[in-house]
Chains A and B, each alone.
Chain A
């Protein structure tokens, strides 16, 4: 192999004699012009890097959260947040979600409107499903939440199912499609809510039903569902503030991290699932720093009130219940100087919020 160790050395055609006499007469400014060109190339190379960096900035998976005056968000614990309160083109959703499923092309569909994210299947025979899966994975120490709904009228013939699943993201590495699932099942004029754990390799997972609500015609069609799992032994599920299932003695073998599947399944019928207020946040307290030692700090939302006391370093931990880990509230600081209030604080579990105002 020929390795050119010193390209600035003797020219290739030295034997030809071409140009030898000319080589002795350096042209005025030639060296300067060559160096200017080299500088140009260097600057252009740096510009290439800057342009590439700028063009490849991916949109965030959670909206920006403006902090009230006097507070600064030091660290965010909010992994994903999509309120699904506005009509969003699918091409924008697909920066964060992949749409797929067992339904034939054209049968499965997804639409984001002001009423939420609809995931549906059109007319088809037998079972067919469609889902929006998050590109970002999170966990194990996170909480998954969505306000999920099935159509208010129970299904007469066929079967319809609205599904929120938290599935291992390591399928490409190990083939595991293990997941935990909360679903609203509707058939023969009645509906029920179910919680399960599924196991499978690459395809065709088998679900173990862990909990099932009553099968009735008037089962609520909408539930605010919150899931926390470590993927192995622990699973807790809340409907609203109500803990409906919790176990720390399971054998799920569902390796972290996880992705959320916002999903619909239908057998022989068109069906649609609806999702709103979808978020994923760290299963951790909201940390407030910069307070005077001993200060009392309170976070109030419309539903809860959480208290904490600043330690000697001025840091306080606010242990917000899992279903309320993401929300908007008022932070109140009680210290020797008096009471200070910070309204409209958009908080999330795992946030580190610093008090900046003196």
Chain B
């Protein structure tokens, strides 16, 4: 058991022991979700600001519910209705929120490093809910938790991440978490979206989908992020689907106990066949349930974190 961090900014800087602490704590919080009374007073009297400068539905809702179940007070701050639209800087916005005695800031931002910046300038605890294409640590923790729950272990598992890796903060955080815990990670997708440079993160890179999924225990599909790409990354969605989409024919050639994951939102018929998304081998909805437990665990842990302010990443 070890957690002395005030912030959760990325997975890259976490130790293996810290990742296990989150996963162990999340198991206890998942049990709370199964009770008649699903709320505990752990963050009673604390204020959390959800600063979502980039649109998000599921992550924001998951964080909000996690905060409510910990009895925190919540302020939601979205770009559409904010002073950021009027030209206020991120720093000023955050300082104003802190002047209201916010104890935690959960930030989603299109710029990589925005949470690290806030952690430097604020006294509040900062939790990264996704920064640009950099990291999405709580997603990686809930993915890891879900794999552990479904497979009973992480070390030695073969995990294939298929899709838009280049623009994916989920992929980066997943790669850090899974490789730290001893899984073998394979990345697959079009050459433009899965460059060889990812081999430096300890992954196998292939552009052949059949090869990538043949011996996988977990196939983690990533959404094609229209909003982050230029049109030149691949010719068309239809071509992507035919070359890399997970369909019944491809699924039939995987290991029978291989499980399917997707961080959502799903583009049905693009990266995954609609029936596969709903089949018993799909962990998609368990990921959502577990996301709540993992976010409760993270808030619970950083609440007690006083230690040296880690400014990770660089």
A, B bound: no
B residues with CB within 8 A of A: none
